[in-house]
Structure 1
Amino acid sequence: MRRHVLAVATFLCVQAAHAADNVTLPAVMVQAEKVSRVDTVVNVENTQAPDRTLGDMLKHVSGVQSGAFGPNSGAPVIRSLSGNRVQVLEDGQSILGMNAISGDINVPFDPLFVKSVTVNKSSDTVRFGGNAIGGSVNMDSGLISREMEDKDQEMELMLRKGFNDADAQGFRMNFNNQRNISTNLQMSVQRISHYDIPGNSKASVCDSQMFPVAGGANSALADSCQREARVQRVYNKASQPFIDQFMTENPDWADGDFSFFTNRPTSVWMGKTYTNPANPQYVEGTPSYVQNKINRDVTPNYRVTLGNSYIKNTHLAVGSTYFFERGYIAASMDSKDSEYGVPGFSMENLSFGADYSAGRPVGVKLKQDKYTIEANLRDPLPLFELAELNLAKLDNTSGEYLGATKANEYDFKTNQAELLLTHTPFGPLSGTLGASLRSRDITGSGAQRYLPDVETDATAFFVKESLDLGWAIFDGGFRHERIDHQIKPSRFKTSRNSPNATLEDRAYSLNSHSIGGYFELGSRFSAKLRYSDSERAPEVNELYASNAHYSTMTQEEGSQKLSPERARTSEATLAFKSSGFAASATAYEMKYQNYLYLGYSGLQTANRLPLKYWKQTDTTVEGVEIDVSQSMDLGAFGKLDLSAFSDLVKNKADNPDSLRAHNDGEYLPNMPTNRYGANIAWQNRGWKARLSSIYYDKQKYLGKNVSEEIPLDAFNMVDLQVSREFAVRNSYVSAVEVFINGSNLLDEEARPHNSPLKYIAPLPGRGFQVGVSVKL
């Protein structure tokens, strides 16, 4: 199959290039696949907002939050789903690597020059496979010109100075011949030495709720707070009125502190009577033994400054497009490097009473090199109006470090090929046929690796069709996919706790389909209905992980016996529009069969990490999203846009067995909270301003780690962006824009409940960026 697809793709490219000689064309815009009006799709344009991560950029989209593994790593969380369930793409090509497996590994992201991001909050498995069972996020890098620019050259220089925010510099350039060749260059750097926070890095509950009223210590909270917490039974020297004189003279006979005290004024030892002096510490009625509660930091509890929160990102890329009469062919090269600290977090679980000051901070080093070819050809074959070929080679290396020492490192080498054919419409029926191939090779190293070397091959074909009847649009799709995981020889060894005695290859055959409808209900109302039946194969960490996985703070053990997940998703949206006002409400329910999750065994390993196994249970994810907006034309005073949203989501096991109910509870831990957001945007004569607020409610649906999660206080994140663009009339500079951004203006202690580091690393406090953008 692979040879046949590549042969057809090569034939189309050669035919297109041959037809392109000496052709001068106007702007050409071709798009192989239109966004379905049935899916819940949102397009987010890049602004000058100080987005640190991809999750930050999407936080104003209802139903989408950030994973928030500290300030430097934040993957999108769609309707409580993330990781292997949310496909992350750049220019239509998957960039999932360790960022889908380990929360402290960030999605490679350039906040300066990414052009836009398209979010599909519905299951997107028909288009992008099982890893999109919870939706997809596709970044447009701006590297590939899909139509000829208006001017033959343009350059943009960007400078940002941060105050409790990152400094950033970059430039973007386009030059073209206004006929058939257009080239883009991008370079950017972002860096900061540390972030400041409103108070302590560790939450107050690490002190106030460490010792339950019922007794003992909350070990789960202690692990999350990175504390040594235990209760000692200590003899009370004030409980007895006299000091034993014989023991004072013969201390070698004593069995402990209690031996030196007595209730009697005299003692007889070996026929001799001793007079016992009074105990000056004596307090009548006090117990013989008291509890000594030890609550000691394993990692530092920072004050005001969040330690180990540095970051340095660099990005260098080039992309070029050749236009011809019937389409274009484009190629790009992209390199991203990132180094950052994981604040308040330790990979060294030392024994009780050890010297924790010698602990080494955790750092991440990430490098991604990507090479792509994108080709479009109109009328490639009879009965087909468009063909699109996408080829990509991705090399992603992610490493976790203890100080300067490598703990583990994984190299993901991925090759992808996809061919899309859009057939000629048959009356109201239009659609796309597609085939894709992907080969991924994972190689690990380091003393603390927890994944074996695995090669994964994926092949798929799909079809998506749309029937436009004017008053209603129906669409449907089907995808068949095969996933093969092949174990490669290596020195990797599973732990004694692993259920996998010998690692074995695994193969899965998956089928997914979807159907939906969009209906015009008069001039103001519309409705969407959607149903999908999607499958996802277990990923390599769910199958083969073994040993300590410190970014999840668990002893993580996979299982080769796991079955594919299956999600039956129902979604309904009602929308209203009138005179600049728009409102929509969406309700959804995802019924998961064999939902994969990390379940607690109730035991801890020698390094005090909880022992967890990848397990499966039926689960229901349900929620509601509401969006409201109003646009107003203020005449001479400009344009004003008001908007608000709310999202509520619940992830609950359907019929948990007794072990799940006792150890993990009905709800999974670290789930997103309910949110309520509002935005005010104004623009007039070069001025732009936006004030936004997102209120994160206190979590009501709590998971367990034997002990129930401790919810943290609600918080409100208020951000502001103000900019002014000046037109410059000379031969060198066309426009200058100056701006100021403010984040967390209320300086709130913000600890998102879905953040694994919520107890030890809050989000940064109040910060500002001032900057200038110069267009040449």
Structure 2
Amino acid sequence: MLSTSPLAYAAEDVTLQTIKVRADRPSSIDSVVLVENTQAQNRTLGGMLEHVSGVQSSAFGPNAGAPVIRSLSGSRVQILEDGQSILGMNALSGDINIPFDPLFARSVSVNKSSDSVRFGGNAIGGSVDVDSGLISRKMESKEKDLELVLRKGFNDADAQGLRMNFNDGTHFSTNLQMSFQKIGHYDIPGNSKAGVCNSQLFPSSGGVNSFLADSCQKEAKIQQVYNKASQPFIDQFMKENPDWADGDFSFYTNQPTSVWQRKTYVNPPNPAYVPGTPKTVQNKINKDVTPDYHGTLGNSHASNSHFAVGSTYFFDRGYVAVSLDTKNSDYGVPGFSMENKSFGANHDEGLPVGVVISQDKYALEATLRDPVAYMESAQLRVSRLNNTSGERLGAAKANDYRFDTSQAELLLAHRRAGPLSGLLGLSHQSRDITGSGPQLYLPDTRTASSALFVKESLDAGWATFDAGFRHEKVEHDIRQSGFKTSRNAKNAKLEDRSFSLNSYNLGASAKLGQLFGAKVRYASSERAPDVNELYASNRHYSIMTQEEGNQDLKAERARNTELTGLFANRGFQLSATGYVMKYENYLYLGHSGLQTANRLPLKYWKQTDTTVKGFEIDASQLIQLGGYGKLNLSAFADLVKNKADNPDKLRAHNDGAYLPNMPTNRYGANVLWENKGWKAKLSSTWYDKQKYLGKSVSEEVPLDGYTMVNFQVSRALQVPNSPFAGIDVFISGTNLLDEDARPHNSPLKYIAPLPGRGFQIGLSARL
């Protein structure tokens, strides 16, 4: 157990890490953190996972949050549901949330290591797989199961849901899910804009911190204004002939008399004169482009709905399951306006940004045991995903992007040959992107990828070894559309690109006596640039950038080394992991040093060698209290640094060694008590002030650290003489200290803090 079960505690909704030994994960070294869905306040997928060491949420406001694994996210972290990718616009634009059902998703598996052998280049930084609960992979224990969920939020969302399973106990099992979440707005403890938006807008060294001004959505500039108190006399001639004046300075003089056209004028004293004052003074203009709300987070409304049905047919040697899933979201992006208007514009005309998401997914999953000689199982997954994600400027459409994705994967697990087990996999994916609206920054494209991979594991008893290899072909084809690149574009004419990728990994785990264990893992992974990195052009308002792609970019390569030490004794468990990821051709948005219309910084996709390194420590102590139940005390700490290797002068000057919005280091503690139907959880996580700062010409301004304290208490009840098999009631609270919490890795940290103190009460009833 020591050699195969690294631990991750101190998370409110994290159970012991679980090793999933399935057809698609045969190796004990290829471990994942299994996060059970027991937390009531899960708003986003990133929020559900942010208490796992090494994982934070992108926190693009309270309504959009993606997992950030060891500083990596977007196209580097593969997001899956029931083993099939659901990456879409959410990978390319931070304000687009990942469609996610917070009520009925069973659990989420997180692989914090490179998972490119299993899931391709988009898993170069890890993978996240949501178990939707929609597919029965074994016959349910009860013939009928109906669950009703009601939740009332106080500075949190209201939610209602229904989940039902009915089966014949032999061949058929069908699941039905419906859920709804809604909130009008979130309250915050102070102002929506951070204090540094005023105190550090004008550095002591002079000038304006333009990066901070744009991030705070401020109009900031310095005017040199004539000081009327600097000269002792008023020019009498100019007083009598004001049309001759070129400005205020023309009306004042140092001379008691003046001669104009051979006539002498006696200049009266200047009553405002202050000896020794300078002729000009600075007038610092500090004006909000978007409102600075107090107590309320403006434009933070959200509404989500989910309907799904899945049915499984079981037979002697396996099962076949089909499912239909539709999710819809409509929410505001708080404190943020696409119209980062030019100086002097009427900012009262700025319109709030809204996001509308509609997603339909059709899936088939089948497993056959003993399909042919020497084969233990065959598994087939096929899906079709239609996702439309759009941004709204007020009521008007800014853009809509439709992602139509078809996927198929076949996994063949061979029979165990002594200590050797493994699988062969084939996968294919095609994705069509179609855009519409006046604010387009991506062309219409088709992306196809095909892959062959193999994974093998050797169990030697005292140690386990594994290896895997994947070959993948990725092709991006430009489709005809009305998309036009900007005059600043790097690409003169958009062209098709193709990439041939090879990834492999090696690993070993061993028991070191009765108390200790160790794991070592090495992976070499490749990722093809995505469509935004290759072809983006024009204003991308959700990242407040004039984004320009470069179709000559090369594939990224990461070489990852990871070492884990394990210790367990009498209920105490400790896991410590250190890692180094060496990237060649790491892709990033580099600042050109210029701004375009509406003061948007002009940035180009570039590449440089980069090193990502850090550590994670998790500890837990289980205490049995006899008749008083059991107590689990846990703690964690993590730190990550993402730093360019030998940056050139332009990178060092404009972007710095570290990229902006990197996750900060954290320290957390958690107490979980369980006894006779009672559960109580109390957690505290301290987010430190960021020390590793990036630049956008001006240096990034760090914000103060903060502590998030949450709790949840639940009680399972049995009601005699009622139709309910059981009722669970709960109360939960978040941000109990009502902190002004601004995650450093959030692009909106200067204008939108996390919600203030909030509570939720609710119940779930089973029939």
Bin for the TM-score computed over the shorter chain: over 0.9
Give SS of 2:371's match.
strand
Task: Please show how residues 20-419 of structure 1 align to structure 2 within 5 Å.
Answer: 31-34=22-25, 36-419=27-410
Q: Is the 8 A contact 2:447 2:476 kept in 1?
A: yes
Give SS of 1:607's match.
helix
- Out of 482, 490, 507, the residue aligned to residue 491 of structure 1 is 482
Corresponding residue number in structure 2 for 1:22: none
Corresponding residue number in structure 2 for 1:548: 539
Query: What is the CA distance between 1:552 and its match in structure 2?
Result: 1.1
Distance in 1 (alpha carbons) for counterparts of 2:193 and 2:442: 31
Give SS of 1:131's match.
helix
Distance in 1 (alpha carbons) for counterparts of 2:732 and 2:438: 43
Query: What is the CA distance between 1:281 and its match in structure 2?
Result: 1.4
- Out of 593, 617, 631, the residue aligned to residue 640 of structure 1 is 631
Distance in 1 (alpha carbons) for counterparts of 2:25 and 2:121: 21
Distance in 2 (alpha carbons) for counterparts of 1:524 and 1:765: 43
Distance in 2 (alpha carbons) for counterparts of 1:48 and 1:735: 19
Q: Is the 8 A contact 1:40 1:121 kept in 2?
A: no
Query: What is the CA distance between 1:357 and its match in structure 2?
Result: 0.6
Corresponding residue number in structure 2 for 1:765: 756
Distance in 2 (alpha carbons) for counterparts of 1:48 and 1:618: 39
Query: What is the CA distance between 1:743 and its match in structure 2?
Result: 0.2
Task: Please show how residues 504-583 of structure 1 align to structure 2 within 5 Å.
Answer: 504-583=495-574
Corresponding residue number in structure 1 for 2:577: 586
Q: Which amino acid aligns with 1:257?
A: D
Distance in 1 (alpha carbons) for counterparts of 2:376 and 2:699: 58
| CA-to-aligned-CA distance 1:54-111 (integer Å, 9 cap, x gap) | 0110111100000000111000000000000000000000000010000000011111
Distance in 2 (alpha carbons) for counterparts of 1:544 and 1:331: 36
Q: Is the 8 A contact 1:30 1:376 kept in 2?
A: no
| CA-to-aligned-CA distance 1:640-688 (integer Å, 9 cap, x gap) | 1111000010000111111101111111110000000111000111110
Distance in 1 (alpha carbons) for counterparts of 2:393 and 2:207: 32
> TM-score under structure 2 normalisation?
0.97
| CA-to-aligned-CA distance 1:364-416 (integer Å, 9 cap, x gap) | 00111001000000001111010000000000000011001111110000000
Distance 1:250 1:436, change over 3 A: same
Distance in 2 (alpha carbons) for counterparts of 1:35 and 1:707: 49
Corresponding residue number in structure 2 for 1:680: 671
Number of aligned residue pairs: give it: 748
Distance in 1 (alpha carbons) for counterparts of 2:53 and 2:651: 30
Distance in 1 (alpha carbons) for counterparts of 2:231 and 2:287: 30
Distance in 2 (alpha carbons) for counterparts of 1:488 and 1:72: 32
- Out of 693, 703, 708, the residue aligned to residue 712 of structure 1 is 703
Distance in 1 (alpha carbons) for counterparts of 2:345 and 2:488: 26
Query: What is the CA distance between 1:249 and its match in structure 2?
Result: 1.5
Q: Is the 8 A contact 1:153 1:174 kept in 2?
A: yes
Runs of 4+ in 1 over 4 A off after TM superposition: none
Query: What is the CA distance between 1:40 and its match in structure 2?
Result: 4.6
Q: Is the 8 A contact 1:39 1:530 kept in 2?
A: no
Distance in 1 (alpha carbons) for counterparts of 2:532 and 2:729: 46
- Out of 485, 493, 496, the residue aligned to residue 502 of structure 1 is 493
Query: What is the CA distance between 1:292 and its match in structure 2?
Result: 0.4
| CA-to-aligned-CA distance 1:171-211 (integer Å, 9 cap, x gap) | 11111111110110100110111001110111111111111
Q: Is the 8 A contact 1:40 1:122 kept in 2?
A: no
Which piece of structure 1 moves more, 605-614 or 61-70? 605-614
Q: Is the 8 A contact 2:26 2:456 kept in 1?
A: no
Give SS of 2:471's match.
strand
Give SS of 1:700's match.
coil
Distance in 2 (alpha carbons) for counterparts of 1:337 and 1:36: 37
Which piece of structure 1 moves more, 348-357 or 718-727? 348-357
Task: Please show how residues 659-698 of structure 1 align to structure 2 within 5 Å.
Answer: 659-698=650-689
Give SS of 2:300's match.
coil
Distance in 1 (alpha carbons) for counterparts of 2:437 and 2:248: 48
Distance in 1 (alpha carbons) for counterparts of 2:150 and 2:722: 22
Q: Is the 8 A contact 1:600 1:612 kept in 2?
A: yes
Give SS of 2:566's match.
strand
Distance in 2 (alpha carbons) for counterparts of 1:193 and 1:378: 50
Distance in 1 (alpha carbons) for counterparts of 2:221 and 2:605: 29
Query: What is the CA distance between 1:276 and its match in structure 2?
Result: 2.0
Distance in 2 (alpha carbons) for counterparts of 1:251 and 1:736: 84
Q: Which amino acid aligns with 1:210?
A: L
Q: Which amino acid aligns with 2:171?
A: N
Corresponding residue number in structure 2 for 1:737: 728
Distance in 2 (alpha carbons) for counterparts of 1:111 and 1:36: 30
Corresponding residue number in structure 1 for 2:603: 612
Give SS of 2:603's match.
strand
Corresponding residue number in structure 2 for 1:723: 714
Query: What is the CA distance between 1:263 and its match in structure 2?
Result: 1.7
Identity among equivalent positions (%) equals 71
> TM-score under structure 1 normalisation?
0.95
Please tell me whether residue 630 in structure 1 is matched to residue 621 in structure 2: yes
Q: Is the 8 A contact 1:170 1:186 kept in 2?
A: yes
Which segments of 5 or more consecutive residues in structure 1 lack a partner in the other structure?
1-28
Task: Please show how residues 447-458 of structure 1 align to structure 2 within 5 Å.
Answer: 447-458=438-449
